Copies of this chain bind each other. A is one copy, B any other.
């Protein structure tokens, strides 16, 4: 007996929620194999395509992975920091670009969070991280560097600073804040003069970090925030001047 006229109301979303809750609650543990698609379609009394749509939703959140073949199937995925990074960056980037978040607000959030890392980084930074920062500073000083490349190097510099805190949870949380700012930063055209100012502040930050001077790092970060805000304000003022509407 078939039931062709069931209750069409986003069944795949319901099934996805059901399985997701099982994973979050711990009823399904890491690396555990889910029933096969055929079994699931029987359990939930839906067709296999519907089950598959549900599984794809979960796969999009990195909650499961699938594997073909005889011993294949869907397995509960251990979410890696890398997975979480990239997801958060995607979400944060779109959130900023779609919601008319002002440069000012995003910039303030970013530097506020980054300053929070200063004490820990000053205490724990490794020689490798200092070296990375100095490498990026050198790269930033190359005159023929494009604005995009300059921004990318800037991100790498700040990530090294954050990673210096030696706390993966902190690094993860800040990855979104720092990287999501990049598209906004890319709107700024960096002149030779402004690059020099930024590089100078980057050097101050690195020096203070090497000297384990937390207050010095914070002060330089604050100066960098103020300078960045000023640059952005100039850009926007010019745009308004050129295009009143």
Q: Which residue of B lies closest to A119 (CB)?
A: B112
Does the CB pair B112–A99 fall under 8 Å?
no
Dominant secondary structure of chain A at its interface with chain B: helix
How many subunits of this chain does the assembly comprise? 2
Chain A 81-114 interface 0/1 with B at a Cβ cutoff of 8 Å (1 = within): 1001001101111111111010001101110110
- Compute how far the CA of A98 lies from the CA of B23 in the bound complex, rounded to whole angstroms: 10
B94 x A23 contact (CB < 8 A): yes
A195 CB–B CB distance under 8 Å: no
- The winner among A56, A79, A84, A108 for most chain B CB atoms within 10 A is A56
CB distance from A226 to the nearest CB of B (A): 15
User: A225 → chain B, closest Cβ, in Å?
Assistant: 12
Which of A16, A54, A90, A95 is packed against the most chain B CB atoms within 10 Å?
Answer: A95
Contacts of A52 in B (CB 8 A): 49, 53
A231 located at the interface, meaning its Cβ lies under 8 Å from any Cβ of chain B in the complex? no
- The yes or no answer to A170 lying at the interface (CB within 8 A) is yes
Give Cα A168–Cα B99 distance, bound, in whole angstroms.
11
Q: Is the CB of A16 within 8 A of B60?
A: yes
Task: State in angstroms the CA–CA spacing of A40 and B93 once bound together.
Answer: 26
Query: Could you list 16 examples of A-B contacts with CB < 8 Å?
Result: A24-B93, A24-B94, A26-B97, A30-B98, A61-B87, A79-B94, A79-B99, A80-B99, A81-B99, A87-B91, A88-B176, A92-B173, A105-B168, A112-B165, A112-B170, A169-B177
Q: Output the residue of A49, A81, A84, A106 with the most chain B CB within 10 A.
A: A84
**Cβ contacts A2-43/B at 8 Å (1 or 0 each):** 000000000011001000100110100010000000000000
Q: How far is the CB of A229 from chain B (nearest CB, A)?
A: 14
Separation of A225 and B117 alpha carbons in the complex (Å): 16
A230 CB-CB contact with B under 8 Å: no
Cβ 8 A contact of A113, one of B92, B97, B170: B170
Q: Is residue A167 within 8 Å, beta carbon to beta carbon, of the partner chain? A: yes
- Other than the given A57-B59, A61-B90, 8 more pairs (CB < 8 A) read A49-B52, A56-B60, A79-B98, A80-B99, A81-B95, A88-B88, A95-B172, A113-B170
- Bound CA span A33–B108, Å: 34
B-chain residues with CB within 8 Å of residue A53 when the two chains form the complex: 52-53, 56
